[in-house]
Amino acid sequence: LYLYIYIHTYTHTVHKTRSVQNQIDQASVCVRERIFEICLMAGESSSDLTIIVHKNPSESHLSELGIKSWPKWGCSPGKYQLKFDAQETCYLLRGKVKVYRKNSSEMISEFGAGDLVILPAGLSCTWDVSVAVDKHYNLVAR
């Protein structure tokens, strides 16, 4: 009887703990998505040209943004010198990118397939593409 009560109590506690952890995980996703939306609405990611990467956004969030209606762009592996005159929000369907400051070996960001990224207007950088990129993108003029 004592063993039954212990097992029942332990199982209930583990189930309850998992349920609480699931709720925490869901809340964390919601908070990250809302912060990302605020950055989008502000029309810039930050004044110091910081790249914002949202790892694995939910399908509902991607749908709200209308990602599938955005134009597509892609590139093969290699190094590319890029300058963003407008803020770009992109969703990588495939690829892997390391971003370096212009004329520097300082890596400032890394992202890949499944990531939603805000690249700020005014950013000059080098993309080191190790896996071919295929992405949807949206430009926001200042």
The verdict on residue 13 lying in a domain is: no
Q: What is the CATH number of the domain that holds 93?
A: 2.60.120.10
Instruction: Give 8-22 as a 3 state SS string.
Output: HHHHHHHHHHHHHHH
Is 99 domain-assigned?
yes
Q: Which domain holds residue 121?
A: 35-140
Token pair listed for 113: 């397939």
Q: What is the pLDDT of residues 101-129, one digit of tens each?
A: 998 999 999 999 999 999 999 999 999 99
Burial of residue 36 (number of CB atoms within 10 Å: 0-12, 13-18, 19+):
buried
Domain count, the chain: 1
- For residue 140, name the pLDDT band (cuts at 50, 70, 90): confident
Other beta carbons within 10 angstroms of residue 90's beta carbon come to 21
What average pLDDT does the chain have?
80
In tens, the pLDDT along 66-97 reads 999 999 999 999 999 999 999 999 999 999 99
pTM for this prediction: 0.68
Distance CA 138, CA 119 (A): 10
